[in-house]
């Protein structure tokens, strides 16, 4: 005779499955046994770890792209602003031309023009230093037909009329002078910045496509690995949303893990790039490309945003893939 006080057997596999389905769909009853089944998707697997590494690499590449685009745009904007605040008057030497008198007249004319904050002629030493990379040190420009330059600083209220008035005055009073408004360099910088943005968007599109493909293959592999359980759940009446949520939660966790690792590594790289030159005593950003890697708050926010976006794309892609796979189960 069986002892009445013996421990009652646990739920059968079918009862545990039905209990799990009711809990997953919100139909659990008060007398149900505690949930004893495991998740459909294994929490730790070689495929999951490999996908997390792939997501981290993709997020790192995306973060580097976002940060690089932000740095280039910031540098281009700073350079364009500096160029827009200054213009240059060039006086070419000629026969019977008093170069010093021409410089003086041009400086006086520039200072008298509305919208000009200051004008200063470069002396012979400064002119020689500009030519030093090509002609060497110790150059005596007084004995050479070298053009002389006047640096003109524009006021905050300067506009196109200011440069037009200055150009017209130079044509009347100093015919040997020409005004360079640096428009060509400004247009080149703007074109370069636009090109970098386009290339960055293309790289992000490729990274997103590669991430989606990796998640699709990983999701299909996970569904195939748990195909028996998925088919049983499907045939006994489990909702597709319940099955998809199991995979979505799993891959969302992988996406968050990979996104955190990749995004954190990208942020750390830019942080070191902005602080390392100071530690090494390099204060001029022109001396090194690393010294120019200064990322502002918008750049770090962009890297954080792309990390979260990669995790969401991973979860949504896995959910869509599971739904499409379930439709193929007959």
pLDDT of 260 higher than 90: yes
Band of residue 208 on the pLDDT scale cut at 50, 70, 90 = confident
pLDDT at 25: 43
Q: How many other CB atoms are found less than 10 A from the CB of residue 149?
A: 18
Check residue 43 and give its pLDDT.
Answer: 58
User: Looking at residues 224-251, what average pLDDT do you find?
Assistant: 78
Q: At 150, which helix (H) or strand (E)?
A: strand 148-154
The pLDDT, as a whole number, for residue 325 is 77
Side-by-side strand order, sheet with 177-180: 116-121, 148-154, 86-91, 177-180
How confident is the model over 114-123, as a mean pLDDT? Answer: 90
137: left (phi over 0), alpha (psi -120 to 50) or beta: beta
Q: What is the pLDDT of residue 50?
A: 84
Q: Average pLDDT of 252-266?
A: 92
pLDDT band at 261 (very low <50, low <70, confident <90, very high): very high
* Model pLDDT, residue 39: 60
pLDDT of res. 108: 92
Handedness of CA 9, 14, 20, 21 (dihedral sign): negative
Task: Using only the alpha carbons of the chain, give its radius of gyration.
Answer: 35
Question: pLDDT confidence of 79, banded at 50, 70, 90?
Answer: confident
Other Cβ atoms less than 10 A from the Cβ of 299: the count is 23
Query: Are the C-beta atoms of residues 17 and 232 closer than 8 Å to each other?
Result: yes
pTM: 0.67
């Amino acid at each position: 005779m069986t002892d009445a006080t013996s421990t009652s057997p646990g739920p059968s596999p079918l009862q545990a499955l039905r209990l799990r389905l009711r809990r997953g769909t919100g139909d659990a009853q008060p007398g149900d046994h505690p949930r004893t089944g495991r998740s459909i998707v294994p929490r730790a697997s070689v495929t999951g770890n490999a996908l997390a590494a792939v997501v981290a690499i993709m997020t790192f590449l995306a973060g580097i792209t976002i940060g690089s685009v932000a740095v280039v745009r910031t540098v281009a904007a700073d350079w364009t602003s500096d160029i827009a605040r200054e213009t240059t008057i060039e006086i070419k030497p000629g026969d019977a031309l008093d170069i010093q008198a021409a410089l003086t007249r041009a400086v006086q004319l520039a200072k008298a023009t509305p919208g000009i904050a200051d004008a200063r002629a470069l002396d012979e030493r400064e002119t020689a230093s500009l030519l030093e990379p090509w002609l060497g040190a110790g150059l005596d420009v007084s004995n050479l037909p070298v053009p002389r330059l006047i640096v003109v600083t524009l006021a905050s209220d300067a506009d196109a009329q200011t440069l037009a008035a200055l150009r017209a005055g130079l044509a009347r009073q100093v015919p040997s002078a020409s005004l360079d408004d640096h428009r060509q360099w400004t247009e080149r910088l703007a074109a370069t910045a636009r090109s970098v943005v386009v290339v960055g968007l293309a790289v992000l599109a490729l990274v997103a496509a590669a991430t989606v493909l990796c998640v699709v293959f990983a999701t299909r592999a996970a569904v195939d690995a748990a195909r028996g359980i998925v088919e049983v759940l499907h045939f006994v009446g489990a909702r597709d949303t319940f099955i998809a949520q199991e995979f979505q939660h799993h891959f969302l966790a992988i996406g968050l893990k990979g996104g955190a690792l990749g995004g954190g590594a990208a942020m750390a790289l830019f942080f070191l790039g902005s602080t390392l030159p100071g530690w090494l005593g390099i204060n001029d950003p022109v001396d090194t490309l690393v010294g120019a890697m200064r990322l502002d708050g918008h750049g770090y926010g962009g890297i954080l945003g792309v990390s979260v976006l990669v995790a969401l794309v991973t979860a949504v892609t896995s959910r869509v893939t599971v739904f499409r796979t379930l439709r193929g189960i007959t």
